[in-house]
A and B are shown apart, each in its own frame.
Chain A
Amino acid sequence: MRPHEFYVWMSYGMAALALLAEIVALRVRRRQSLRRIEEERELEAQD
């Protein structure tokens, strides 16, 4: 794979990075949604 190693691994590397970034973004979004619900629950409980 030597002469074109760079091109092959740049492709596989970026694909892996993109998939990983999406999974991380999904987890962050879910955590934010749950936190928002929790905050609204607490505000309601204070009222």
Chain B
Amino acid sequence: MNWFYLSSPSTFYRAAGHLAPWFFALAALLGAAGLYTGLVVAPTDAQQGEVYRIIFIHVPASWMSMFLYFVMACYAAVALTFRTRLAAMMARALAPTGAMFTFVALWTGAFWGRPTWGTYWVWDARITSELVLLFLYFGFIALANAFEDPRRGDRAAALLALIGVVNLPIIYFSVLWWNTLHQGSSVSFKGTSMHIAMLWGMLLMALSFWMYSIGTTLTRVRAIILERERRTHWVRGLPR
């Protein structure tokens, strides 16, 4: 595959249009399987009862919030280094979905915390650093749109994205570095302490959110390409 060919906005616009519906379909299928596994197949937790089922949304949303930020920062680095238009547009397209997943992670965490810890919110290291991530996403979006010239907005937002990367290891290792209320990871590359059905439910939901993120990013980048390239011949030549 010729990647330079795909890095042209006009080519990528068409490719993204073909691919996005497939990713949405995959997200729906995996989401249905994940919800069935999480809400029907997975057994009740011995300590937390049914409320633990929030993790099938909370954990995948938290993973995606960090993963999407990392991918966004990678695109920002490429955009800054090579001055490629498409990389900057991809970084912009990822930010709202990342912010949405960060919000969902915080919200579901609060609704898990109330019956489990007795409070919706606590200034715990993991939760506070996740909130900082949400503000980083908001800052990126605001900065990217704060300039008349979108390329200046791209560069300023890319810098912020790169600086904000330092927050990712803080979120991940916060439960080890500080004495936090938030529990440590139940899943790692070494194995898991969870029931297999719980693990599958979580992994299926994570895959579903991943596919959804690709679908929304491709759809959003198409809109950004149209906005940026609207005076070019190929956009003017698009069928009405």
Chain A positions within 8 Å of B, measured between CB atoms, are 1, 3-5, 7-8, 10-12, 14-15, 18-19, 22-23, 25-26, 29-30, 33-34, 36-38, 40-41
Contacts and interface: CB of A to CB of B under 8 A. Distances in A.
B168 interface: no
A22 B96 contact: yes
Contact of A18 (B103, B230, B235): B103
Contacts of A8: 50-51, 53-54, 111
Given A26-B219, A34-B226, 5 more contacts: A1-B53, A7-B54, A29-B223, A33-B227, A37-B235
Interface string B210-240: 0010001001101100110011000110101
6 contacts: A4-B49, A7-B115, A8-B51, A22-B216, A23-B216, A33-B223
Most chain B CB neighbours (cut-off 10 Å) among A5, A11, A22, A30 = A11
B126 interface: no
A10 B216 contact: no
Q: What DSSP secondary structure best describes chain B's contact surface?
A: helix
A10 B223 contact: no
A25 B222 CA distance: 14
Contacts of A22: 96-97, 100, 216
Contacts of A26: 216, 219-220, 223
Most chain A CB neighbours (cut-off 10 Å) among B103, B107, B236 = B107
Contacts of B61: 15
Interface residues of B, number: 33
A3 B220 CA distance: 40
Interface string B38-64: 000000000001110110011001000
A26 B215 CA distance: 11
Contacts of A23: 216
B114 interface: yes
A36 B103 CA distance: 31
Most chain B CB neighbours (cut-off 10 Å) among A8, A10, A18, A37 = A8
Contacts of A34: 226
Contacts of A25: 96
A11 B120 CA distance: 12
A42 to B, nearest CB: 11
A38 B240 contact: yes
A14 B108 contact: yes
Contact of B112 (A7, A19, A41): A7
A15 B103 CA distance: 9
